[in-house]
Structure 1
């Protein structure tokens, strides 16, 4: 599957074909804009090519029109994936360098996406009740908290590497203890297993000193 930024050569084979054969190409981008690449013929009209640069993720429609011998109209739909994100494109508590150091191995090729996902999980399932110093972008400013959050998300990525990324929590946090704090939402049959979370993630949060991170409690439950 091509990705955003790829330059490909679209090709059309025509049979039968002769010197009267001619072809043109209309390319409709995912945003509805139509472009007309320069088409080049070869092999006495049997082969036609055109350069196409995929500038957007989504579905692209390539429509060839052939006149003369071999006249026809042919359509092709091409699915284009987004370009792989870089660390600068995502919100993450750890970098791929930190992940590699944690794993003592090369990080997976989808490390950026996994770190972003682990960061979202940490934010939504553990830190809603947490109070700590942040910058204008909501990132922790204390080096101790930064290091703990980095360890937490790296632990989660390592955990997913062992059990599979599909092993993820689909709902509110339930049944996880952090030191003397017990974060548990839901009850009875609705209670999820804490095995959705890496043990190292919870240990990393437990090790943050109380003066660096604290938990809010309101009406017997944890504040959001």
Structure 2
């Protein structure tokens, strides 16, 4: 599987083929735009190649059209991986440096994406919380910002221990924030495992009321 930025030689074998064989290539990017690379022939028209630079992550479609001897159309789908550590557009409550300091060790290579995912999770859980934010919806109070950073770092640490797949394995069970006590679960016996790090709610539980007001914990 190629990665974003890779320059790959796309190849097509044509049989039967002779000097009347012609080949063209249309490459459709994941965003729907197209390019037509220069195609060159070898082996008497039986082998064709073209340079393709994968500039976007996603599914690329290579459409070969053969004319003359061996005429026909052939399509190929290519899955292109994003750069390792690439971050989707968005914000994160902690940097990879903060994560490294929290872990006391080198952070995982996917830290940037994991922090972004943890930020989305925290936002969903605290949708009813009240605190001051800036134009980018980031907390303006240093104490709240630090607590949020600890919360998302704890979630990334949790995923590192139990695997990120736990995010779909079951809802939160048993959490206490101040006087609020909530328990969620999967099935009648609430046996589904939590996908929220135990340290996450504790990271924000002691924030002073004048800076952070929590109305209700929202299960995801």
TM-score, scaled to structure 1: 0.78
Match of 2:178 in 1: 179
Match of 2:66 in 1: 66
Match of 1:22 in 2: 22
User: Which segment is superposed worse, 14-23 or 103-112?
Assistant: 14-23
Please give the alpha-carbon distance, in whole angstroms, between the structure 2 residues aligned to 1:162 and 1:172: 18
Contact 1:177/1:183 (<8 A) preserved: yes
Shift of 1:100: 1.7
Contact 1:87/1:95 (<8 A) preserved: no
Contact 1:13/1:46 (<8 A) preserved: yes
Match of 1:11 in 2: 11
Shift of 1:63: 2.0
Shift of 1:8: 2.4
Query: Which residues of 2 match residues 1-224 of structure 1 at below 5 A?
Result: 1-82=1-82, 86=86, 89-125=89-125, 127-168=126-167, 175-184=174-183, 189=188, 195-216=194-215, 222=216
Shift of 1:77: 1.7
Please give the alpha-carbon distance, in whole angstroms, between the structure 2 residues aligned to 1:169 and 1:177: 22
Please give the alpha-carbon distance, in whole angstroms, between the structure 2 residues aligned to 1:181 and 1:201: 15
User: Which segment is superposed worse, 49-58 or 138-147?
Assistant: 49-58
Contact 1:176/1:194 (<8 A) preserved: no
TM-superposition CA deviations, 1:2-45 (whole Å, max 9, x none) = 34444322111234544444322122344554432111123433
In structure 2, relative to structure 1, the CA distance for the partners of 1:30 and 1:160 (3 Å cut) is: closer
Q: What 5-or-longer segments of structure 1 have no aligned partner?
A: 217-221
| 3-state SS of 2:115 partner | helix
Please give the alpha-carbon distance, in whole angstroms, between the structure 1 residues aligned to 2:193 and 2:142: 28
Shift of 1:150: 0.7
TM-score, scaled to structure 2: 0.79
Please give the alpha-carbon distance, in whole angstroms, between the structure 1 residues aligned to 2:141 and 2:168: 28
Shift of 1:113: 2.1
Match of 1:219 in 2: none
| 3-state SS of 2:139 partner | coil
Please give the alpha-carbon distance, in whole angstroms, between the structure 1 residues aligned to 2:88 and 2:62: 33
In structure 2, relative to structure 1, the CA distance for the partners of 1:29 and 1:196 (3 Å cut) is: closer
In structure 2, relative to structure 1, the CA distance for the partners of 1:192 and 1:15 (3 Å cut) is: same
Please give the alpha-carbon distance, in whole angstroms, between the structure 2 residues aligned to 1:41 and 1:185: 63
Q: What 5-or-longer segments of structure 2 have no aligned partner?
A: none
Please give the alpha-carbon distance, in whole angstroms, between the structure 2 residues aligned to 1:31 and 1:88: 16
| 3-state SS of 1:129 partner | coil
User: Which segment is superposed worse, 147-156 or 59-68?
Assistant: 59-68
